[in-house]
Amino acid sequence: MSIFEYNGSAVVAMVGKNCFAIASDRRLGVQLQTIATDFKRVFKVHDKLYIGLSGLATDAQTLYQKLVFRHKLYQLREERDMKPETFASLVSALLYEKRFGPYFCQPVIAGLGDNDEPFICTMDCIGAKELAKDFVVSGTSSESLYGACETMYKPNMEPEELFETISQALLASVDRDCLAGWGAPPLKCRRE
């Protein structure tokens, strides 16, 4: 069993029409034993930017704390929030910096950039980015998530339809993975 599968996880992000949605499961386990059913994997960076961290839970929490620290320094220096593209580059650089002793995490970044253009990307544990225009997935459920998302995703969905689609895709996927599950609270973000 890979160290990425030790705690189990499922994270997915989808793009709609001037909006995005990101969701994850709530189960924290040690292999097949469930430890908690309210574990948080998706974190808010600011009002228009979220990050989901799948993989080893302790590394995910450590990485999130470092990212919050770096974002606050950026806010103090620049007097504005980070754009999603900038934040993705920050995460990538932070992961690559630790490439010889990596954080066992696979981040999923979702945000609204300039002109409320949705941005999603994922990366591996050493920071190699994968940008997408439709959806990205990570975690132990990634194979079944790809299938569910490819089946259900349509371009230019409105926020309500996107919310329903990401919820159904994630729930269908975690039903086929014993290392993930226990609900899936999705978050959606759109321009105001």
Q: Distance (Å, rounded) from C-alpha 105 to C-alpha 99?
A: 12
Total tally of structural domains belonging to the chain:
1
Q: What is the mean pLDDT of the chain?
A: 91
**Mean pLDDT along residues 63-82:** 96
pLDDT at 153: 95
pLDDT of 178: 76
Domain that holds residue 107: 3-190
Q: Is pLDDT of 192 > 60? A: no
**Rounded distance, CA 158 to CA 19, Å?**
8
- Tell me the two tokens of residue 82: 């980070």
The pairing of strands 10-15 and 135-139 is antiparallel
**24 Cβ neighbours under 8 A, 6+ residues apart:** 9, 10, 11, 12, 41, 42, 52, 54, 139, 170, 184
Residue 2 pLDDT more than 90?
A: no
Which of 31-35, 70-74, 146-150 shows the lowest per-residue confidence on average (mean pLDDT)?
A: 31-35
- The DSSP secondary-structure symbol of 90 reads H
pLDDT tens for each residue of 105-123 = 999 999 998 888 999 999 9
CATH number of the domain that 58 lies in? 3.60.20.10
Residue 157: is its pLDDT beyond 70? yes
